[in-house]
Structure 1
Amino acid sequence: MEDSWRSDIALLIHGAFEEMYRECRHTDVDVIVDDRTFRCHRTLLAAVSPYFDAMFSSGMKESIDGVVTLHGVSKVNFESIVKFIYSGSKVVTKSNAEELLKASALFQIKQLHAKCEQFLLENVNNENCIGAWKLAKSHECPKLSEKAWGIIMYNFQDICRSEDFQCLDKDDLIEIITHEDLHISSEELVCDSVFRWFGADPEGRKQDTIHLFEYLRLPLLGSEYLLHEVEPLDIVNENSRCREIVKEAIQYQMLPSRRWDLNSPRVAFRKYASVEDVLIVIGGYNAVGEKVVDMLAYSFLQAKWFFLTPIPIQLGREFASIVYGNDIFVSGGSQKLDCLLRYRAENNDWYRCTSPVQGRRRHVMVAVCESIFVLGGYDDTIKDESKRTLSSVEEYLINARTWRKAGDMVHAVRSMSAAVSKEKIYIYGGILSDDKDSDHIQCFDTRLSTSSVVSFLPSPCKLTKTVVCDKHIYIVCTDGSILEMSDQGDAKCVHTMKYFNRRRFGALHRKGGLLLVGGESGNAISQKIVFLNPDKNWTEYTYSTTMPARANFGSLIIILQKKYLTRTFKSD
Structure 2
Amino acid sequence: MEELEYEEENAGCFPGHIFRHFRTQGKLIDLQIMTRDEKCVKAHRMILAARFPLIRKAMTSEEGKMVVQWKRFSEDIVEAVVNYAYTGSLTISEENATRLYMLAHNLGSGRLVSWCEEFLGPRITLNNVGEIWSIANITLNSGLMEACIPLMSKNFENLCFRRDLLRQTTSEYLEVLLENKQPEGVSEETKFRAISEWLEAGFDVCDLEKRAKEFTKIISKIDLTGISPQFLTEFWKLGEGICRITLCRNYFTKSWNEVNQQHDQAAVSAFLQLSANRDVLLTYGWNKTSRAWTLMSVPQLQSEESINIPVAFHGEATVSDSLFYVLGSVGTKSSLLSANIRDSSVSTTPVPLDPRCEYCIVSENDSIFIFGGHYHGQCLPFCGRLDSASGGLTKLPDMPTARHGMSALNIADFGIVVVGGSDRADSNLPLSRDAEMLIKVPTDESGWQWKKLSPMLKERYRPGIAFFNRCVVVAGGDSDCSVECLPLASEAQWTRLLGVNKYGPKITSLVAFNNRLILLLSDDSGGDAYEFLHNEGDQSLENYAWEPIFRLSNMMSSRLLVTKEKLE
Deviation of residue 361 (structure 1)? 3.3
Change (3 A) 1:531 1:151: closer
Distance of aligned partners of 1:237 and 1:544 in 2 relative to their CA distance in 1, 3 Å threshold: closer
Within a 5 Å distance, the mapping from 1:83-482 to structure 2 comes to 105-106=121-122, 124=140, 133-136=145-148, 153=170, 156=171, 159=172, 166-167=179-180, 175-179=194-198, 180-182=200-202, 183-184=207-208, 192-193=216-217, 195-199=219-223, 206=226, 214=235, 217-218=242-243, 228-234=254-260, 237=263, 243=267, 247-248=270-271, 250-251=273-274, 253=276, 260=279, 279-283=282-286, 292-300=292-300, 308-312=308-312, 314-315=313-314, 319-332=315-328, 338-379=334-375, 385-386=377-378, 389-398=379-388, 402-421=392-411, 422-432=413-423, 437-447=431-441, 448-476=447-475, 477-479=477-479, 480-482=481-483
Q: Which runs of 5+ in 1 are unaligned?
A: 8-46, 52-89, 109-116, 141-145, 261-276, 520-524, 561-572
Which structure has more RCO (C-alpha within 8 Å, separation ≥ 6)?
A: 1
Instruction: Write the letter of the residue equivalent to 1:198.
Output: I
Identity over aligned residues, as a percent? 11
Q: 2 CA distance for matches of 1:392 and 1:363?
A: 9
Q: Larger Cα Rg: Structure 1 or Structure 2? A: 1
Amino acid at match of 1:444: L
TM-score for both structures, normalised by structure 2: 0.56
Matching of residue 541 in structure 1 with residue 547 in structure 2: yes
Q: For residues 250 and 373 of structure 2, what CA distance do their matches in structure 1 show?
A: 41
Quote how far apart the aligned CAs of 1:210 are. 9.6
Aligned to 2:270, the other structure's residue is in SS state helix
Alignment of 1:518-537 (within 5 A): 518-519=522-523, 525-536=524-535, 537=543
Rounded Cα–Cα distance in structure 1 between residues aligned with 2:121 and 2:250:
50
How far is the alpha carbon of 1:417 from its aligned partner?
A: 0.9
- C-alpha displacement at 1:367, in angstroms? 2.1
Distance in structure 2 (CA, Å) of the matches to 1:407 and 1:473: 23
Q: SS in structure 2 opposite 1:374? A: strand
Over the residues paired in the alignment, what is the CA RMSD in angstroms?
Answer: 5.4
Deviation at 1:483, TM superposition (A): 1.4
Question: Unaligned 5+ residue runs, structure 2?
Answer: 1-14, 22-89, 95-109, 125-132, 153-162, 442-446, 536-542
Structure 1 position 534, deviation (Å): 4.8
Q: SS where residue 547 of structure 2 aligns?
A: strand
Deviations along 1:388-438, one digit per CA (max 9) or x if unpaired, are x32222223456664433332222221011222324111112122666822
CA distance in 2, matches of 1:558, 1:372: 14
Q: Distance in 2 between matches of 1:456 and 1:449?
A: 21
Q: How many angstroms does 1:470 deviate by? A: 4.6
1-structure distance, mates of 2:363, 2:527: 28
For residues 353-373 of structure 1, the C-alpha deviation after alignment (integer angstroms, 9 at most, x for no partner) is 352544543122112244321
8 A Cα contact 2:337 2:348, kept in partner: yes
* Deviation of the 1:513 alpha carbon: 2.4
2:121 match: secondary structure: helix
User: Number of residues paired by the alignment?
Assistant: 414
CA contact (8 A) 1:340 1:354 kept: yes
Q: What is the CA-CA distance between 1:529 and the residue it aligns to?
A: 0.5
**Mean CA deviation greater in 437-446 or 533-542:** 533-542
2:263 partner SS = helix
CA-CA distance at 1:186 after TM superposition:
10
Q: C-alpha separation between the residues in 2 aligned to 1:147 and 1:496?
A: 33
Which SS does the other structure have where 1:431 is aligned?
Answer: coil
The Cα of 1:484 is off from its aligned counterpart by: 0.5
Distance in 2 of aligned mates of 1:296 and 1:175: 31
Q: Residue 3 of structure 1 aligns with which residue?
A: 17
Q: 2: CA distance between counterparts of 1:431 and 1:512?
A: 30
Give yes or no for contact 2:420–2:434 (8 Å, CA) kept in 1: yes
CA displacement at 1:474 relative to structure 2: 1.0
d(CA) in 2 for partners of 1:283, 1:500: 22
Q: Residues of 2 paired with 1:435 and 1:462: CA distance? A: 13
TM-score normalized by the length of structure 1:
0.56
**1:501 matches 2:500:** no
CA distance in 1: counterparts of 2:456 and 2:164, whole angstroms: 58
C-alpha contact 1:332 1:360 (8 A) present in aligned 2: no
Q: Give the 3 Å change call, closer, same or farther, for CA 518–207 of structure 1 in structure 2.
A: closer
Instruction: Decide which of 515, 518, 537 is 1:514's aligned counterpart.
Output: 518
Q: Is contact 2:321-2:564 (8 Å) kept?
A: no
Distance 1:208 1:5 in 2: 69
Relative to structure 1, the CA distance from residue 534 to residue 104 in structure 2 (aligned partners, 3 Å threshold; closer, same or farther) is closer
Classify the secondary structure of the residue corresponding to 1:331: strand
Q: Is the 8 A contact 2:319 2:561 kept in 1?
A: yes
Would the alpha carbon gap of residues 352 and 247 (structure 1) be closer, same or farther in structure 2, given more than 3 Å must change? Answer: same
